[in-house]
Amino acid sequence: MMNLDGQRVLLIGAGGLLGRTFATALIDAGARVLLADRALAAVEELAASLGERTMPAAIDITDADSIRAILALADQTWGGLDTVVNTAYPRNPRYGRRYEEVEYDDFCENLGLHLGGYHLVMQQAALYFRAHGKGGHIVNISSIYGVMQPRFEVYAGTAMTMPVEYAAIKSALIHLSGYVAKYFLKDGVRVNCISPGGIRDRQPESFLAAYDAHAGRIGMLEPQDIASTLLYLLSPASRGINGQNIVVDDGFSL
Ligand SMILES: NC(=O)c1ccc[n+]([C@@H]2O[C@H](COP(=O)([O-])OP(=O)(O)OC[C@H]3O[C@@H](n4cnc5c(N)ncnc54)[C@H](O)[C@@H]3O)[C@@H](O)[C@H]2O)c1
């Protein structure tokens, strides 16, 4: 178990599948966690279950004022912030259509919400860390589909696909994380990505079997497999890692 005693973490998307597991792992490791999500009720409930080292807050990553308000809240409450983890997953109601059906406006809107939102968080967090003069760490959650082309065959017979917007968003997010790391290199602001493979979440059995055939002995991952990588990245053991993307996928992308 990594020791993150006293680390002050802003966790964005805390109410989601990965976010809830990250929150628990961070609290177990000794961190203080600002649980931020557009869905306030979800993080209020999570904060109530995780206890006094947490604080729930509403945030919209597509709104710079909303991001700045959370950073100011961390200052008021904790006297600063050490780390920002972004695991939000914004999408519009038509997201997830097959390639033939994706309309231009939806493509642009989903890139704006997701990639644009992650850009805004990186920009505001990096400026915050630079202004405070003590450095800081930003961790983004990308995906294996930011580094490999889709295996469309694993979705056969299901209503699922690997959306074209996702490929554009997640590949660009890895590149932009390095861009921001380099831009703020001398300010002590580190920016890294974690790229998970598929996470088990009540998917159809046919999909799970097809997916697992391409991976090692684990196959589809549990959220805890990603949380343990996050703890490593937030620990002093990884202090030399900057501008990198860590793929966690049991070999699916090989
Ligand atoms: N689940 C997977 O299999 C998987 C695999 C690889 C990568 N990822 C990535 O991990 C991240 C988290 O995925 P998840 O499965 O936990 O998603 P999720 O949908 O379960 O949770 C995402 C959270 O983001 C919040 N959110 C949405 N729009 C927001 C906004 N504008 N501002 C603030 N919060 C907002 C939602 O309220 C939700 O609580 C995503 O970036 C996703 O692409 C997921």
Domain locations in the chain as residue ranges:
8-248
Task: Name the residue of 45, 67, 89 to mutate for ligand 1: max ligand atoms within 8 A of Cβ.
Answer: 89
Q: What is the DSSP letter of 116?
A: I
SS3 63: coil
Q: Which residues contact 188 (CB under 8 A, 6 or more apart)?
A: 129, 134, 135, 136
The arrangement of secondary structure in 8-248, i.e. its CATH architecture, is: 3-Layer(aba) Sandwich (3.40)
Q: Look at residue 2 in the predicted model and tell me its pLDDT.
A: 85
pLDDT band at 210, cuts 50/70/90? Answer: very high
Average pLDDT over residues 94-115: 97
- C-alpha separations of 250 from 76, 226, 245, 253 in Å: 41, 11, 15, 8
Task: Indicate which atom in ligand 1 lies nearest the CA of residue 16.
Answer: 21
Q: Is the pLDDT of residue 82 over 90?
A: yes
Mean pLDDT of the chain: 97
Cα–Cα distance for residue pair 164/173, rounded to 1 Å: 14
Mean per-residue pLDDT, 193-213: 95
Q: Is 140 in the pocket of ligand 1 (CB under 6 A)?
A: no
112 C-alpha vs ligand 1 centroid, how far in Å?
15
> What does the DSSP 8-state code read for residue 147?
T
Pocket flag, ligand 1, residue 37 (CB < 6 Å): yes
The DSSP code for 77 is: H
CA-nearest residue, atom 18 of ligand 1: 16
Inter-residue contact 250 to 197 (CB < 8 Å) = yes
Range in 170-174, 204-208, 231-235 with the lowest mean pLDDT: 204-208
So what's the pLDDT on residue 21?
A: 98
pLDDT above 90 covers a percentage of the chain that reads 98
pLDDT digits (tens, 9 = 90+) for 32-54: 999 999 999 999 999 999 999 99
Centre of ligand 1 to C-alpha 37, Å, is 10
pLDDT at residue 29 is higher than 90: yes
User: Which residue of 18, 226, 230 sits with most ligand 1 atoms within 8 Å of its CB, as the best mutation to test the pocket?
Assistant: 18
Pairing of strands 54-58, 136-141: unpaired
Residue closest to 252 by CA, chosen among 199, 215, 226, 211: 215
Average pLDDT rounded to a whole number, residues 192-218: 96
Ramachandran angles phi, psi of 172, nearest 5°: -65, -35
Rounded to an integer, what distance in angstroms lies between the CA atom of residue 149 and that of residue 122? 26
- Decide: helix, strand or coil at residue 224: helix
Interval between CA 185 and ligand 1 midpoint (Å): 28
pLDDT band at 3 (very low <50, low <70, confident <90, very high): very high
CA distance 199 to 248: 10
Is the Cα dihedral 47, 110, 86, 122 positive or negative?
negative
Please compute the mean of the pLDDT values over residues 215-220 and round it to a whole number: 97
pLDDT of residue 184: 98
- Are 139 and 86 within 8 A, CB to CB? yes
Q: How many CB atoms lie within 10 A of CB 118?
A: 27
Q: Is the CB of 96 under 6 A from ligand 1?
A: no
Tokens 């809830």, residue located: 20
Residue 124 φ then ψ, to 5°: -70, -40
Measured in angstroms, how far is the CA atom of residue 133 from the centroid of ligand 1? 30
- pLDDT (average), residues 113-125: 98
- Answer yes or no: is pLDDT of 1 > 80: no
- CB of 56 closer than 6 angstroms to any ligand 1 atom: no
User: What value does the mean pLDDT take over residues 10-35?
Assistant: 98
The tens digit of pLDDT for each residue in 92-101 reads: 999 999 999 9
